[in-house]
Amino acid sequence: MPCFFVLLLTEPAPAQEAKTDFYTLLSSLLQRHVQQGQVNYKSLQQDKNKLQQLVKQIANYNLKGAGEAEVKAFYLNAYNLLVLQQVLENYPLKSVMDVEGFFDKKKHLVAGQSLTLNELEKQKLMKPFQDARLHFALVCAAKSCPPLLNQAYTPDRVEKQLQEQTVRTLQSSEFIRVQPASKRVLVSEIFSWYKDDFLREAPSIAGYINRYRKTALPARYSLGYYNYDWKLNDVK
């Protein structure tokens, strides 16, 4: 009787298990040290070895054959985790802006490629996906950043998580500041820096914001920007 050999095109079990462990371990780390969107860097220092373990997994992560959802979730997590790692390397720290090249010079190994944080954001997330919701999930360790989610973005839930994170952020009275007395709305400078990303999806900044709010911004209110607070998003 002839023998037939079947080639499995799926990843070997150990590789799949390693990926699952990555998301599980990251969620566990974030749940321990992220409080209401801010980071307890002092307590995170005690888990520095676990953080480094995750950074090594980011460096060696295999994206060959990965679907769109996995790619998006992986790079989102990679960005946020590498920000945390770099803060710890310079902690205690008042602001990431005090670290030369924090976003545009320091290179990180990400799925086998050497990238700065800016390159990771633009080349691996914004350019291929053109999803403005990513701006509310990527957290740059500043007080004015959107709140950091205390769980990993996962391939099976990343779209739902992005939607929830965007709604949560744009409902926040701290992030979107409606001022009835002066009939104006002050919004994050993120909407100015990445204006084209939002206008690709809506006719105006207010129109984009209103997609995710229960109560729409008043049409007659003027729109302005409050100054971005670059102080570290450290738990008080």
Per-residue pLDDT at 129: 98
DSSP state of 148: P
Strand partners, 176: 187
In the chain, what are the domain boundaries? 13-142+155-225
Tens-digit pLDDT profile for the chain (236 aa)?
444 444 444 555 556 677 889 999 999 999 999 999 999 999 999 999 999 999 999 999 999 999 999 999 999 999 999 999 999 999 999 999 999 999 999 999 999 999 999 999 999 999 999 999 999 999 999 999 999 999 999 999 999 999 999 999 999 999 999 999 999 999 999 999 999 999 999 999 999 999 999 999 999 999 999 999 999 999 98
Helices then strands, counting H and E runs in the chain, come out as 10, 7
In order of 10, 11, 104, 227, the CA distances from 15 in angstroms are 10, 6, 31, 45
- Residue 224: name the closest of 198, 201, 199, 206 by CA: 206
